[in-house]
Amino acid sequence: ATNYSENEILDHVLGKGTRDFTSPANLYVGLYTAISDGETGSWTEVSGTNYARTAVTFGVASGGTATNSGDVEFPAAGAGGFGTVIGLFISDASSAGNALFFGSLSASRAVDEADIFTIVAGNLSISLA
């Protein structure tokens, strides 16, 4: 979880702060190619022709983990591709907004021109530990 998300969850659950955190209407997955501090959102988000954060939905959490309930398919990479993707983040907006969670891929992946990056349903898990 990012620092933003951790603070909002703690304040909401423990009844401190403004307690105004509400679930975002939509969630989006973004991809990154470099990271210096994920907790503060210091990563290099993919840029390139056709790249856009993509909507994601999650099923009900069980055992402290929630997983994506449907495939997340990014548009085909345009000229030059997206580079080598090393991780992803969950955001409350399709651009800018607040990053909520982040993590590294189990294996980095080069996304070349015309490649489609897909996260199959059930393969993206968010856990609070």
pLDDT at 23: 85
32-65 pLDDT per residue, tens: 999 998 788 799 999 999 999 999 999 999 988 9
Read off the pLDDT of each residue in 89-94 and give the average, rounded to a whole number: 96
pTM: 0.90
Q: What is the mean pLDDT of the chain?
A: 92
Q: Which is nearest to 90 in space by CA: 10, 31, 13, 46?
A: 31
pLDDT at 94: 97
pLDDT at 58: 96
pLDDT at 11: 83
**Confidence band for 8, pLDDT divided at 50, 70 and 90:** confident
Contacts of 56 (CB under 8 A, 6+ apart): 27, 28, 29, 68, 70, 72, 90, 119, 124
pLDDT at 54: 98
pLDDT at 39: 84
